[in-house]
Structure 1
């Protein structure tokens, strides 16, 4: 299950809002093309990949309902993995990619994807792999799951790269490569 992050803002139960950064770059403008490309690459490699959405940001739904829907979708469709792809926003200075996981069963997947992104994208700043229990989607899926922050849309350098379709394609290829490595190791 590939989950293009919706750009929703916390706290829960506020109206969903797309995060925006430099020159109006929105999270959904970055993560939806990357997510679709990841799904395409996986399909070309014999892996059935489903998206939690394939259109723009779903506005008007509460955050908790959106998160609950996405995790239930993964459960109902009996997904093997849950991969949530996001772009971050913080203070305009922070940059780089980080992969979060929850639970020991997800740690190896997170490490493989993070390493693949770093190997494929030499300009990418490594923010590391981190276990965290604050991510609703990761805590509420029974399968291994990760939450990828591809970069910061409010950082000039990251935003310029994330806006570029060639860079998005390379990011997608790196994420898919990490997933495929993980699946191969599970056989």
Structure 2
């Protein structure tokens, strides 16, 4: 009996050390960060915050709150697996200079500060969390945008998209899009970077799901699993 117990202790230790995949709650792939030679730091950006609430859902849900909830779950999964994580915000707060006189000035300051945090981090991966909104309520589904400055951004976006579709949205046919100038953070970002529009707050069914903690955890898990797939692919190709 003691020999069997000792074997399982050693076996479980090997799983953690060498990154063998196991499944946790909400389908999270447990993959120890030390397995990756060039894992870098993961910068997690919960969009909006403070006076900038972002989109307001058809059910009254506020985008900034959902963004933060998903971002905090993602941080938890990353830290559980020994990744270095920088949270651009981890409370309901703005990031920029709040002493500026107008909302427009404060918003510009906020956006530039987010980019500056990424730049000061050095070689890293940026994952920005947002929610979508449209004038017609029929639209739904996650869409992933990616920076055009680094080829890897598109690969990361596709890995995340595939995981979200397979785990949560099998009917979602939305394609990834390269960020244009209107998405300032991604357009000016020179590290692998994506922005995940997790769903449409203008869609009644999706807005309700996005407000539940279980769906927020599942969304964070799918994003995390996509990141792991991306890192594995880079490891296999030696990039």
Q: Secondary structure at the match of 2:85?
A: coil
What is the alpha-carbon distance in structure 1 between the residues aligned to residue 53 and residue 65 of structure 2?
13
Residues 124/21 of structure 1: CA separation in 2 closer, same or farther (3 Å cut)? farther
Partner of 1:29: 65
Question: TM-score, structure 2 length as denominator?
Answer: 0.70
Partner of 1:179: 227
Question: TM-score, structure 1 length as denominator?
Answer: 0.88
Structure 1 gap ranges (5+): 9-14
What is the alpha-carbon distance in structure 1 between the residues aligned to residue 71 and residue 140 of structure 2?
20
What is the alpha-carbon distance in structure 2 between the residues aligned to residue 79 and residue 71 of structure 1?
13
Partner of 2:172: 125
| 1:7–1:17 Cα contact (<8 Å) kept | yes
Partner of 2:207: 159
Structure 1 or 2, whichever has the larger Rg, is 2
Shift of 1:124: 6.2
CA deviation profile, 1:61-110 (whole Å, cap 9, x unmatched):
62221111001001112251011110011112221110011222311000
Partner of 1:84: 128
| 2:71–2:129 Cα contact (<8 Å) kept | yes
Residues 17/168 of structure 1: CA separation in 2 closer, same or farther (3 Å cut)? closer
Q: For this pair of structures, how many residues does the alignment match? A: 181
CA deviation profile, 1:30-71 (whole Å, cap 9, x unmatched):
110100111110111221111100111528562221111001
Q: Following superposition of structure 1 onto structure 2, how do residues 1-187 of structure 1 map, counting pairs within 5 Å?
A: 1-6=43-48, 16-58=52-94, 62-91=106-135, 92-103=137-148, 104-122=151-169, 125-134=172-181, 135-187=183-235
Partner of 1:12: none
Which structure's relative contact order is higher, taking Cα pairs within 8 Å and 6+ residues apart? 1
Structure 2 gap ranges (5+): 1-42
What is the alpha-carbon distance in structure 1 between the residues aligned to residue 55 and residue 169 of structure 2?
26
What is the alpha-carbon distance in structure 2 between the residues aligned to residue 69 and residue 127 of structure 1?
30
Aligned-residue CA RMSD (Å): 2.0
| 1:97–1:128 Cα contact (<8 Å) kept | no
